[in-house]
Structure 1
Amino acid sequence: MDDQNKNLILATVLSFVVILVWFVLFPPPEQVEDPNAPAVAAAPVTVEGGVPALAPTTEAAAATETDIVETTNAPRVDISTARLSGSISLLGGRIDDLKLNDYRETLDEGAATVTLMSPKGEPHAYYALYGWAPGAGLDYDTVPGANTEWSVERGQALTETSPITLVWDNGSGLVFRRTISVDENYMFTVDQTVENTGAGTVSLAPYGILSRYGQPADLKNFFVLHEGVVGMADGELSEIDYDDVTDLPYDQREGARAETTAVTQDGWIGFTDHYWMATLIPSQGTPFQAAVRYDERADTYHTRALMPTVTVAAGETTTVSSELFAGAKEWATIKQYEENDGVKGFLDSIDWGWFFFLTKPMFAVLHWLNGHIGNMGWSIIALTVLIKAIVFPLAYKSYASMAKMKELQPQMEKLKEAAGGDRQKVQQSMMELYKKEKVNPASGCLPILIQIPIFFSLYKVIFVTLELRHAPWAGWITDLSAPDPSSILNLFGLLPFATPEPGSIFFILSLGVLPILLGISMWLQQKLNPAPTDATQAMIFAWMPWVFMFMLGSFASGLVLYWITNNVITFTQQYLIMRSHGYKPDVFGNIKRGFKRKAQSGE
């Protein structure tokens, strides 16, 4: 086997292996913890270096999860903005009813609006709760918690221009207020105020909690996508999958599995789904304690931001502000919060993956192109052209070398005939020929090797970014983040049969228009490359386009569109470069002659 074919086989195998790895999920072994470990009530909050050293129990109240009152029938205040609708429960002051007006569950007519948060008592309850943890001289009955009955002091409904203020008097000299406002997108501002009308000084610590009952109903649980806890602590991003949260060490103070992190300056913490996110954001520049907690008794996940303890003397009033992001992970919106509002590292809440140094700029360019073109499909094609232009200098050298290899094919055949079965002599003769003609057989692998990280980066971009969700291209391609919905099994809609459901074996065999075009484009491109002389290698290469056609048939349409465009551009570049170097490939003539030979032989 000559060096050229060895390298081509190696690159091919590498491509197959790397692509297949993305479909394999190797969950870590489950850790064995003592399920009978006793729950220990939280101690009063103390302060070490300005950061609370010990957080209150989840919900920051003496009540356990089973004691928290359901809020489906509690009095409510409406949330009504252009992009959000829902309500706030006056029981606990929870933000627990939130819908994203701009997004639908499916592309079907009349599809339901995406629901981000829902109150306790409904399936997959998910809400944000704020309150105060008691310090010296206070207990949980004297501070607002999960079941506190708030009253509306100001405002009738929460809109972009009209905040609301809730009030609660503990009857012991402390009056608590909570003012909630929201911008034109998805950022809530929560101002927590305590007024001390009593005679003594009190200390207490404000907190925010996100509670989620069970894992999301639409959990993808896919290797390439992170879903679960996401947070930033002093410039360091942390991601914990839901399954890993349940494996956290048991914390005696929390009475549950938990992990806490002291953030000294900038940070945030919350839950991220495929396209949606809720995040607690304390005032940047101030310390706080970030916590992740899983309660096995109620199958609840929590993230918490506990801010420093404040001391309020008699006659004084103190206000602590924080923010809550609850909405869609739109690149431009999140980027604005990072750059204009100072939420450090917020853009990293989008899962850019291992090749983040490629995926982040790649999507930025794709977003810019879409802003000018107005169609994500055509923007993907434009991005492909731009990428091919950038890597063209490397590709040129490779294609020129491959053209030279095509010219040397007859000489290589003569050398093999002259050497007979002596493989060592063949290898030596080949190396002398390469050296004489100044040809590097390994250069043919370069386009494939360059293609691998680009392919995975674009795959990541198309899979994780919201902007590709339900984005149409042309004709029957109405969602670039989903596979081609057409099917060869019903003659692409001509027969009255429904297309197979994604995930079924019939879906893999169905093949849409785009996967078939992909196979053809790979086959045509292959015709320009030097053919392996070994029969086994030749068979492997002959099957490659059709294997890839089936493998990528269930990939997102946007990715298949990119691959087809890339193949067409590569074929054109290689064809023209070969002709410019004196080799005139007769691809279509060879194809016609091949069919003619088969017809004559009766195959």
Structure 2
Amino acid sequence: MDDQNKNLILATALSFIVILVWFLLFPPQDTPKNTAKQPVAEQNAGAAKTQAPAASATATATAGATATASASQAAGATPEAKATAADLPTVKIDTPRLEGSISVQGGRIDSLQLKGYKETLAKDSPLVRLLSPVGKPDAYYVLYGWAPGGSLAYTDVPGANTVWTVASKGALTPKNPLVMTWNNGKGLVFTRRISVDDNYMFTVTQGVKNTTGAAVTMEPYGMIVRHGLPPERGSTILHEGVVQMTDGKLDEIGYGGMRKFEDVPTEGGPAKVVHAKSGWIGFTDKYWMTSLIPETGKPFTAVDKYTKASDIYQLESRLPVMTVAPGASAEASSRVFAGAKEYDTLRMYQNQKDVPRFVDSIDWGWFFFLTKPIYWLLHKLHILTGNVGIAIICLVIVLKLIVLPLAYKSYVSMARMKELQPEMEALKERAGDDKQKLQKEMMQLYKEKKVNPAAGCLPMLFQIPIFFSLYKVIYVTIELRQAPFFGWIRDLSAPDPSSWMNLFGVLPFPAPMEHSFLATLSIGALPILLGITMWLQQKLNPAPADATQKMIFAWMPWVFMFMLGHFASGLVLYYITNNTLTFLQQYMIMRSHGHPPDIFGNIRSSFKRGKSAAK
């Protein structure tokens, strides 16, 4: 087999490996479960199967025996709760950043939209919906209540279907809290006060007054319930599912991991249970999060559950069991975060509202030690420039200045390698087909001239973690979502929408649709510019001696062009800027050492070799 066929087979094998690795790292998104056809009755049945926590007090003379509410008991089938949630009134939520409603059935926070965020860039696009009530597709809500202990029954405490009486007037606003009451008819009067700030934080205070002649024991809890998987999910490089902070330890559990808990018998039913002195627990999506945050400094129990029969994912924050004496009252307060994972907002809650490590709800990834400072710098540059794209360009300049000493040594080494090219060509002629002799004499030449051929790889090796860190920043931080640059780039977190297949919009037909073979080949102006800058940068480097390596390096810019063509535009912009600055740096350093590269001469030679090969 001749060398040409060997090279062709090798190139084909390498291309297959690249594609295989690509699909392993970035597999197609899961098709969301179609819940739209699920009947309302079935959704309501799912709500009835939501499991309530059990009071877990140690048995004492006053506490009595612990009672456990079953799944059917959790429905709270009191006489007042025969109507469905759709038939009952709601209380409007209206804040600078949120709109939605609270159902009087169960007192659920079950309808919430984010005023500052739209689903798409279209003018008539609806607002992003975070929470949805029972009976709607993808039901997702927050529920509070009490679990009975001692001699109390589940009907004696508020449950998922308890119908509350609204004692306050008007909508829930930052200046007007919501107050609800419920009398169990047996001497216990419950109150619930819900307030909200100007951002995304609710405060829920549950109270009970005991007018009976005996002490009562019960356990306050908060609960986040999600029916089925979220309709839109990210890729494998992003965590979505449970995120919880317990005593300074961050745990991330995917939805697949939650499904394993149904087979783990623990107290109160199949669940994962963690007792903590401080922390929080919630569901996180790519940009949004709903979290239960117990009162600072007070212990709580974090519980993760999955109910297979109704496909319900459930998180609980159980507060310490309370014993309320006759004639006495008791209160339990906790908070709910429901909104966008904005760095400044999360940091404010962390530093000013004592929510431990709240900024770590953003998935910073393995390179968090690079991701966090890169984001901080990008955030500050964005504030200064007012444009995320310009901020990315400025970020590259700062990073290039930081690694300049290392880069300088590397580029000097490349210039020296370029200087040795005539001598290396002479070695090739003398060695002929004896590759072992050629390798030995080349190493001797490097040693005599004090040149390190591997030095040119150092900037690339240093750049790899920075590349992945910046990709993570652009992919997960909401500040880059729908952030415009200039011209046709209206969202730097999305791929370049233009396509060479319709001459970038000149021809009167759209680019190929997503998830098709042609769409994979369809790339925009930015990726093409990326390939050109990589190719120009490559022309400054000495060509490998081995023919196969030379061929691989020649194809690399164009392979990367298609690989990165469907990445976020902000990342491609970073790479174009980095390549351009690297080209200028290397050109100037080589010129200062008396070896100005003949770029256009190399380009003409490349075209001539291409024509000769074609003939």
Contact 1:225 1:274 in 2 (8 A): yes
Cα distance, 1:325–1:511 mapped onto 2, change above 3 Å: same
- Offset, 1:421: 3.1
Q: Which residue of 1 aligns with 2:161?
A: 147
Q: Which residue of 2 aligns with 1:103?
A: 117
* Aligned-partner Cα distance in 2 for 1:16–1:455: 20
Q: Which residue of 1 aligns with 2:26?
A: 23
Q: 2:535 aligned with 1:523, yes or no? A: yes
- Offset, 1:15: 10
Contact 2:262 2:306 in 1 (8 A): no
Q: Which residue of 2 aligns with 1:495?
A: 507
Q: Which residue of 2 aligns with 1:46?
A: 57
Residue in structure 1 matching 2:402, options 379, 383, 390: 390
Q: Which residue of 2 aligns with 1:582?
A: 594
* Aligned-partner Cα distance in 2 for 1:290–1:507: 45
Q: Which residue of 2 aligns with 1:228?
A: 241
* Aligned-partner Cα distance in 2 for 1:511–1:595: 24
Contact 1:201 1:313 in 2 (8 A): yes
Q: 2:315 aligned with 1:281, yes or no? A: no
SS for the counterpart of 2:86 is coil
- Offset, 1:57: 5.3
Residue in structure 1 matching 2:263, options 250, 272, 275: 250
SS for the counterpart of 1:192 is strand
- Offset, 1:44: 4.6
SS for the counterpart of 2:99 is strand
Cα distance, 1:594–1:63 mapped onto 2, change above 3 Å: closer
SS for the counterpart of 1:120 is coil
- Offset, 1:499: 1.6
Q: Which residue of 2 aligns with 1:176?
A: 190
TM-score normalised per structure 1? 0.90
SS for the counterpart of 1:158 is coil
Q: Report Cα offsets for 1:113-146 as digits up to 9, x if no partner.
A: 1111111000000000001111123121111110
Q: Which residue of 2 aligns with 1:419?
A: 431
Q: Which residue of 1 aligns with 2:353?
A: 341
SS for the counterpart of 1:562 is helix
Q: Report Cα offsets for 1:339-386 as digits up to 9, x if no partner.
A: 111100111111111111111111111111111111111111111111
Q: 2:375 aligned with 1:372, yes or no? A: no
Q: 2:340 aligned with 1:328, yes or no? A: yes
- Offset, 1:111: 0.5
Q: Which residue of 1 aligns with 2:441?
A: 429
Moved more, 322-331 or 535-544: 535-544
Cα distance, 1:600–1:229 mapped onto 2, change above 3 Å: closer
- Offset, 1:311: 1.6
- Offset, 1:413: 1.8
Q: 2:195 aligned with 1:187, yes or no? A: no
Q: 2:136 aligned with 1:133, yes or no? A: no
SS for the counterpart of 1:402 is helix
Q: Report Cα offsets for 1:42-61 as digits up to 9, x if no partner.
A: 76522499xxx999558894
Cα distance, 1:449–1:24 mapped onto 2, change above 3 Å: farther
* Aligned-partner Cα distance in 2 for 1:130–1:68: 19
* Aligned-partner Cα distance in 1 for 2:70–2:520: 46
Which amino acid counterpart does residue 161 of structure 2 have in structure 1? N
Contact 1:58 1:254 in 2 (8 A): no
* Aligned-partner Cα distance in 1 for 2:439–2:59: 71
- Offset, 1:20: 6.6
Cα distance, 1:602–1:275 mapped onto 2, change above 3 Å: closer
- Offset, 1:73: 2.8
- Offset, 1:547: 0.8
* Aligned-partner Cα distance in 2 for 1:86–1:427: 72
Q: Which residue of 1 aligns with 2:40?
A: none
Aligned-pair identity in percent equals: 56
* Aligned-partner Cα distance in 2 for 1:358–1:202: 53
Contact 1:96 1:128 in 2 (8 A): yes
* Aligned-partner Cα distance in 2 for 1:521–1:417: 33
SS for the counterpart of 1:398 is helix
Residue in structure 1 matching 2:567, options 543, 550, 555: 555
Cα distance, 1:26–1:487 mapped onto 2, change above 3 Å: closer
Q: Which residue of 2 aligns with 1:3?
A: none
Cα distance, 1:19–1:401 mapped onto 2, change above 3 Å: farther
Which amino acid counterpart does residue 328 of structure 2 have in structure 1? E
- Offset, 1:251: 4.1
Q: Which residue of 1 aligns with 2:227?
A: 213
Higher relative contact order (CA 8 A, sep 6+): 1
Q: 2:219 aligned with 1:238, yes or no? A: no
Unmatched 5+ residue regions in structure 2?
1-10, 31-49
Residue in structure 2 matching 1:572, options 578, 584, 594: 584
Cα distance, 1:570–1:18 mapped onto 2, change above 3 Å: farther
SS for the counterpart of 2:194 is strand
Q: 2:497 aligned with 1:485, yes or no? A: yes
* Aligned-partner Cα distance in 2 for 1:173–1:259: 35
- Offset, 1:72: 2.6
Cα distance, 1:64–1:531 mapped onto 2, change above 3 Å: farther
Q: Which residue of 1 aligns with 2:33?
A: none
Cα distance, 1:306–1:600 mapped onto 2, change above 3 Å: closer
* Aligned-partner Cα distance in 1 for 2:220–2:146: 4
Which amino acid counterpart does residue 339 of structure 1 have in structure 2? N
Q: Which residue of 2 aligns with 1:33?
A: none
Which amino acid counterpart does residue 212 of structure 1 have in structure 2? R
SS for the counterpart of 1:563 is helix
Write out aligned runs for 1:533-548 (5 A). 533-548=545-560
Cα distance, 1:237–1:56 mapped onto 2, change above 3 Å: farther
Cα distance, 1:197–1:155 mapped onto 2, change above 3 Å: same
- Offset, 1:436: 1.6
Q: 2:451 aligned with 1:448, yes or no? A: no
Unmatched 5+ residue regions in structure 1?
1-8, 28-38
**Count of aligned positions:** 576
SS for the counterpart of 2:565 is helix
Contact 1:40 1:253 in 2 (8 A): no
Q: Report Cα offsets for 1:537-558 as digits up to 9, x if no partner.
A: 2211111111111111111111
Which amino acid counterpart does residue 306 of structure 2 have in structure 1? Y
Q: Which residue of 1 aligns with 2:373?
A: 361
Cα distance, 1:513–1:301 mapped onto 2, change above 3 Å: same
* Aligned-partner Cα distance in 2 for 1:68–1:226: 39
Which amino acid counterpart does residue 545 of structure 1 have in structure 2? P
- Offset, 1:155: 3.4
* Aligned-partner Cα distance in 2 for 1:192–1:360: 37
Q: Which residue of 2 aligns with 1:260?
A: 273
Contact 1:60 1:132 in 2 (8 A): no
Which amino acid counterpart does residue 23 of structure 1 have in structure 2? F
* Aligned-partner Cα distance in 2 for 1:275–1:361: 19
Write out aligned runs for 1:295-314 (5 A). 295-314=307-326
* Aligned-partner Cα distance in 2 for 1:255–1:100: 35
* Aligned-partner Cα distance in 2 for 1:343–1:532: 55
Q: Which residue of 2 aligns with 1:6?
A: none
Cα distance, 1:362–1:145 mapped onto 2, change above 3 Å: same
SS for the counterpart of 1:100 is strand
Which amino acid counterpart does residue 396 of structure 1 have in structure 2? Y
Which amino acid counterpart does residue 255 of structure 2 have in structure 1? Y
Contact 1:401 1:443 in 2 (8 A): yes
TM-score normalised per structure 2? 0.88
SS for the counterpart of 1:524 is helix
